[in-house]
């Protein structure tokens, strides 16, 4: 497998947790990219050295005319300058002994032939000096563990997720911003994030290597428009998927998408049929959009991996379960679990006569959270059920009037993946958010539920099969 710069990938900790950073192009003017980068970085534990020949002080930090004039050692440069100024700054930083650079600026191969020449120049500088580079044309990096944040998105406009098990790499800063906000909204924590834009140096293979051994990363996700080394990625993904799930959203499936990718990051997209086949062999979960990705991450982050695809639906309103049963019937890896006679008899003992004891297990609109709990107590150790999906019509009076019991229900360990489906107005959405803070995945529709579970079960089977072989 190709090793860039023959580096030890664990050494890239300085990208996510540098002890000192030169902010080249820092600004004291609100609304400038250099101002917002400084504003984000000042909250971190990192020692900051703003660099701008026209400023003496920025945000209380002494400002330097250039990188060479900084009197201390510097681990990393974060650069926001015109593209044609960047090669000189990189060489200056490399000669000073700086290990790496995050180039926020655009104006390279994604816009013109002249930009492509500049991009090639900084690629040569990276190789010649051993300077690790993130970007250009990106929003940089984020580590919730160390509080390191190079974003030029203001904190009150884009909320950052707290610490968690997911690390994300992206060629698109916009997709990165969207995913981080959705993760925050869905109470999913993030370990590390990297936006590498045009990928002149650090790329998806590097990051797979890094996330493989990062103890704070349990789930790896990616938005990609191209591969720097497809074969290396697939081989490494196959190795990592045995221990950590990898979720990929790949753009550029069509001629139109490939054309858009080239104008966005200068990327040349690959044949999508070959990509999907290779990913399937490597155990990678391929998703169709960002919503799909968040749903899958939410389940994987907070619930155990299912051992199979037998799903039991419990509900106080049957309609959505009929739609779900249809979707399960059309899925590749899911089945409606069948209750056996023993289970039916035990359920009859503890549920009212008018409950419909089947799958869906319809507790009717009279159901309280305690009825759900009683049913789960009977079924939790069953070999014929792999996943519990609980539907709730929250405004129904027996649920609404006993809402604290609903929260208590989800505090118990049911030994298998359990999730809720609910949709509605303000109050229902408030309950959903509270459940997700308790690490209970909540999905709004049957389509999204089945789509996520189908891919998770396929991955679970791939993992089990490859563990047997290894």
pLDDT tens digits for 114-144? 999 999 999 999 999 999 999 999 999 999 9
Q: What pLDDT score was predicted for residue 11?
A: 72
Q: What pLDDT score was predicted for residue 470?
A: 60
Record the tokens describing residue 34, joined without a space: 């250099």
CA–CA dist 176, 155 (Å, integer):
15
Q: What pLDDT score was predicted for residue 253?
A: 61
**pLDDT at residue 259 greater than cutoff 60:** no
Band of residue 3 on the pLDDT scale cut at 50, 70, 90: very low
Q: What pLDDT score was predicted for residue 347?
A: 98
CA–CA dist 291, 294 (Å, integer):
5
Same domain, 228 and 319: no
Same domain, 110 and 221: yes
Residue with the bigger pLDDT between 1 and 422: it is: 422
Same domain, 318 and 398: yes
Same domain, 159 and 143: yes
Q: What pLDDT score was predicted for residue 93?
A: 98
**pLDDT at residue 268 greater than cutoff 60:** no
Q: What pLDDT score was predicted for residue 1?
A: 33
Q: What pLDDT score was predicted for residue 159?
A: 93
**pLDDT at residue 389 greater than cutoff 70:** yes
417-431 pLDDT per residue, tens: 999 999 999 999 999
Same domain, 292 and 394: no
Same domain, 247 and 357: no
CA–CA dist 166, 319 (Å, integer):
34
Q: What is the dihedral of CA 449, 450, 452, 455, to 10 degrees?
A: 170
Q: How far is CA 434 from CA 178, 187, 218, 410, in A?
A: 22, 9, 24, 11
Q: Could you tell me how many residues make up the chain?
A: 470
Same domain, 309 and 295: no
**pLDDT at residue 5 greater than cutoff 90:** no
Contacts 24+ apart (CB under 8 A), 31-40: 33/80, 33/104, 33/152, 34/80, 36/151, 36/152, 36/153, 36/154, 37/78, 37/80, 37/104, 37/140, 37/150, 37/151, 37/152, 39/154, 39/155, 40/149, 40/150, 40/151, 40/152, 40/153, 40/155
Q: What pLDDT score was predicted for residue 62?
A: 98
Average pLDDT of the segment spanning 225-253: 93
Q: What pLDDT score was predicted for residue 270?
A: 60
CA–CA dist 364, 352 (Å, integer):
10
Q: What pLDDT score was predicted for residue 366?
A: 97
Q: How far is CA 432 from CA 302, 369, 437, in A?
A: 15, 15, 9
Decide which of 237, 269, 299 is a domain's last residue.
Answer: 299
Q: How far is CA 416 from CA 21, 137, 458, in A?
A: 45, 43, 17
Of 85-89, 269-273, 323-327, 351-355, the one with minimum mean pLDDT is: 269-273
Average pLDDT of the segment spanning 275-289: 94
Same domain, 283 and 320: no
Decide which of 239, 270, 299 is a domain's last residue.
Answer: 299
Band of residue 289 on the pLDDT scale cut at 50, 70, 90: very high
**pLDDT at residue 256 greater than cutoff 80:** no
Same domain, 244 and 319: no
Residue with tokens 């099969």: 465
Is the Cβ–Cβ distance between 41 and 23 less than 8 Å? yes
pTM above 0.85, yes or no: yes
Same domain, 371 and 289: no
Residue with tokens 């753009």: 251
Q: What is the DSSP string of 260-303?
A: HHHHHH---PPPHHHHHHHHHHHT-EEESSHHHHHHHHHHHHHS
Is the Cβ–Cβ distance between 328 and 450 less than 8 Å? yes
Band of residue 255 on the pLDDT scale cut at 50, 70, 90: low
Same domain, 61 and 132: yes
Residue 131, domain extent: 4-299
CA–CA dist 297, 285 (Å, integer):
11
Record the tokens describing residue 459, joined without a space: 């991955």
Give the CATH number, domain containing residue 453: 3.40.50.261
Q: What pLDDT score was predicted for residue 274?
A: 87
Band of residue 273 on the pLDDT scale cut at 50, 70, 90: confident
Name the domain count of the chain.
Answer: 2
- DSSP-H helix ranges across 63-172: 86-96, 113-129
Mean pLDDT (the chain, rounded) = 93
CA–CA dist 450, 457 (Å, integer):
10
Decide which of 254, 275, 299 is a domain's last residue.
Answer: 299
Band of residue 9 on the pLDDT scale cut at 50, 70, 90: very low
CA–CA dist 295, 3 (Å, integer):
33
The terminus-to-terminus CA distance of the chain in angstroms comes to 20
Contacting residues for 317 by C-beta, under 8 A, at least 6 apart: 365, 391, 392, 393, 396
Same domain, 25 and 158: yes
């Amino acid at each position: 497998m190709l090793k860039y710069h023959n580096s030890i990938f664990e050494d890239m900790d300085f990208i996510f947790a540098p002890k000192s950073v030169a902010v080249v192009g820092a600004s004291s003017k609100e609304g400038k990219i250099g101002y917002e980068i400084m504003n984000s970085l000042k909250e971190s534990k990192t020692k900051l050295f703003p660099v701008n020949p026209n400023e003496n002080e920025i945000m209380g930090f002494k400002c330097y005319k250039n990188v060479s004039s900084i009197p201390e050692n510097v681990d990393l440069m974060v650069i926001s300058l015109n593209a044609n100024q960047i090669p000189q700054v990189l060489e200056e930083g490399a000669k000073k002994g700086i290990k790496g650079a995050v180039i926020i600026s655009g104006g390279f191969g994604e816009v013109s032939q002249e930009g492509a020449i500049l991009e090639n120049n900084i690629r040569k500088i990276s190789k010649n000096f051993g300077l690790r580079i993130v970007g250009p044309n990106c929003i940089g990096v984020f580590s919730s563990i160390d509080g390191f944040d190079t974003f030029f998105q203001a904190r009150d406009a884009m909320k950052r997720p707290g610490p968690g098990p997911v690390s994300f790499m992206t060629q698109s800063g916009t997709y990165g911003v969207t995913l981080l906000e959705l993760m925050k909204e869905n109470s999913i924590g993030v370990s590390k994030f990297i936006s590498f834009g045009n990928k002149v140096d650090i790329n998806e293979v590097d990051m797979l290597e890094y996330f493989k051994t990062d103890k704070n990363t349990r789930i790896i996700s990616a938005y990609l428009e191209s591969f720097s080394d497809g074969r290396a990625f697939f081989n490494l993904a196959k190795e990592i998927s045995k221990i950590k799930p990898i979720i990929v959203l790949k753009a550029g499936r069509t001629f139109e998408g490939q054309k858009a990718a080239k104008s966005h990051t200068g990327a040349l997209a690959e044949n999508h049929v070959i990509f999907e086949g290779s990913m399937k062999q490597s155990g990678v979960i391929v998703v169709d959009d960002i919503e799909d990705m968040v749903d899958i991450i939410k389940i994987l982050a907070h619930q155990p991996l299912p051992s199979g695809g037998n799903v039991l639906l419990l509900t106080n309103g049957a309609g959505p379960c009929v739609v779900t049963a249809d979707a399960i019937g059309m899925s590749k890896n899911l089945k409606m679990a069948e209750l056996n006679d023993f289970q039916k008899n035990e359920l009859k003992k503890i549920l009212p006569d008018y409950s419909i004891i089947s799958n869906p297990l319809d507790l009717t609109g009279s159901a309280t959270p305690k009825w759900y709990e009683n049913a789960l107590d009977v079924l939790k150790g069953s070999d014929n059920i792999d996943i519990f999906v609980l539907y709730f019509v929250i405004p129904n009076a027996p649920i609404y009037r006993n809402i604290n019991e609903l929260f208590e229900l989800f505090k118990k360990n049911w030994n298998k993946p359990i999730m809720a489906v609910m949709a509605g107005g303000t109050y229902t959405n408030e309950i959903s958010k509270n459940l997700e803070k308790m690490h209970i995945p909540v999905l709004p529709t049957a389509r999204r539920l089945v789509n996520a579970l189908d891919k998770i079960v396929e991955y679970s089977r791939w993992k089990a099969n490859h563990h047997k072989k290894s």
